[in-house]
Amino acid sequence: MYPLTPNYIREAKLYKELQRLTQLQPALVQNRIIGFSSNENLPIYALEIGKKQAKQQILIIGQHHGDEVLGLNVALAWAEKLIDGYKTDERITKILEQYRFWIVPTINPEGWRIVSSGQYQFKRKNNRDTDNNKQLDLRTDGVDLNRNYPVFWDMDSDMNINSPYYKGTEPASESEVKAIISLTQQQSFALAIFFHSSASGAYSEKLYLPARGGDTPLFQQTKTLAQIYAKAVKKDYAAGTYEVHDGISSEVGNARNYFFHRLGTKAFLVEIGGINAKGQSVIHPDDKMLKRIVQKHLKALTKLLTEMEGVLQQSPPRI
Ligand SMILES: [Zn+2]
C-alpha cells in the first residue's frame, strides 16, 4: 500500500503524538531530543518511560531505514502499552518495576519524511547530498545509517555513493548515528532492539544476532532472548513463527554489532513484515494487517520482558 494509509504514523505528526503520549502519564514519561539529522536538522526524539529506580534500561529503535516504517508503529504502540498498562496491567507494571525504556521511534527522520509524506516509497538512506550537486536525488543521495556505526566499518568495501548501502565518508560521519552514540555515553543499556523490514523479502520475519558473537555468555543470553521473541511472533502470511537467523549476517557498521561489541549490550534486530501468497515482501501492509502485526509484536515484547530476568539469572557466570 503506497502512499501509506493514515494509520501509519507520519513524520509531520510525530511530535504531536509524542506529546500526547507524554501527557498521558507525565510522571512516568519524558519526551527527549537526543540529536538532529545530518542534512535538515530534524530532531531525533526519544521517549524515556519508567521509574528512576528501575534496575536496567532497554533501548528500542523503531527505524534506521526510511522505507521500513512498521517498526515506528510498533515502537509507539509499545510506548502506549507501557503508559496505559502502568498500574492497570499487572505484567506491564512488573516490567516497569524492573526496566526503564528509551524508545526512539526513528533515527532517520529525513528518509522517513520522504516516505511518510508520499514523495517516494523506497527512500532508505538519510538525505545527505552525497554527490554534492546541491539537490536531493531521492533515488541515490544519502548515507545508510545502519552502515555508519564505528564497528567493522573499514571492512565494508562498498564505496559507491549511489549504493543503497553507502556507508559514508568515515565511521559515525552522520549526526543521526552520533546521537545514538552520545546517548550510549550517558546511559547504559541491558538490551537494545532494532526494528527493520526486509524490502527484498530475503530477510523477512527473522531476528538477527550480532555477528562474531563467539560462544560467550553475553552472546548466549542474547540468543536465548531472541529465541523467546521469535517464537512469540506468528508469521504474517505463512504457518509457523519468526526464527532466529543462524549463520552469517551483515556485520559492517551496523547498530547491533556496535552495541554488542563496543558496549557489551545484548542486541538484536527484528525484520518485521512477511511475504504474501504471491511471494512478495509486504513492508507497507494494509490497515488490517498493520494492526495484526503491531499486536503480535506487543505480545512478543511483553513475553520477552516478563521472562528476561529469569534468563539472565540462569546464564553461566562470565569467565
Ligand atoms: Zn533496514
Tens of pLDDT, residues 195-224: 999 988 888 999 999 998 888 999 999 999
Give the pLDDT confidence score for residue 272 in this predicted structure. 97
Distance from C-alpha of 115 to C-alpha of 301, rounded to nearest angstrom? 26
Short-list 104, 108, 123, 107, CA closest to 3: 123
Distance from C-alpha of 55 to C-alpha of 76, rounded to nearest angstrom? 23
Give the pLDDT confidence score for residue 313 in this predicted structure. 84
Short-list 226, 190, 234, CA closest to 209: 226
Give the pLDDT confidence score for residue 249 in this predicted structure. 76
Expressed in angstroms and rounded, the spacing between residue 302 Cα and the centre of ligand 1 is 23
Distance from C-alpha of 60 to C-alpha of 51, rounded to nearest angstrom? 17
**Fold for domain 11-314?**
Aminopeptidase (3.40.630)
CB-proximal residues (5 Å) to ion ligand 1: 65, 68, 196
Expressed in angstroms and rounded, the spacing between residue 66 Cα and the centre of ligand 1 is 8
Give the pLDDT confidence score for residue 234 in this predicted structure. 97
56-61: strand order across its sheet: 29-36, 43-49, 99-104, 56-61, 191-196, 266-271, 206-208, 243-244
Give the pLDDT confidence score for residue 200 in this predicted structure. 85
Could you tell me if 178 and 253 are in contact, meaning their C-beta atoms sit under 8 angstroms apart? no
Expressed in angstroms and rounded, the spacing between residue 271 Cα and the centre of ligand 1 is 8
Expressed in angstroms and rounded, the spacing between residue 91 Cα and the centre of ligand 1 is 30
Expressed in angstroms and rounded, the spacing between residue 167 Cα and the centre of ligand 1 is 13
Q: Which residues of the chain have pLDDT under 50?
A: none
Expressed in angstroms and rounded, the spacing between residue 18 Cα and the centre of ligand 1 is 23
Expressed in angstroms and rounded, the spacing between residue 72 Cα and the centre of ligand 1 is 12
Distance from C-alpha of 69 to C-alpha of 230, rounded to nearest angstrom? 20
What tens digit of pLDDT does each residue of 82-130 get? Answer: 999 999 999 999 999 999 999 999 999 999 999 999 999 999 999 999 9
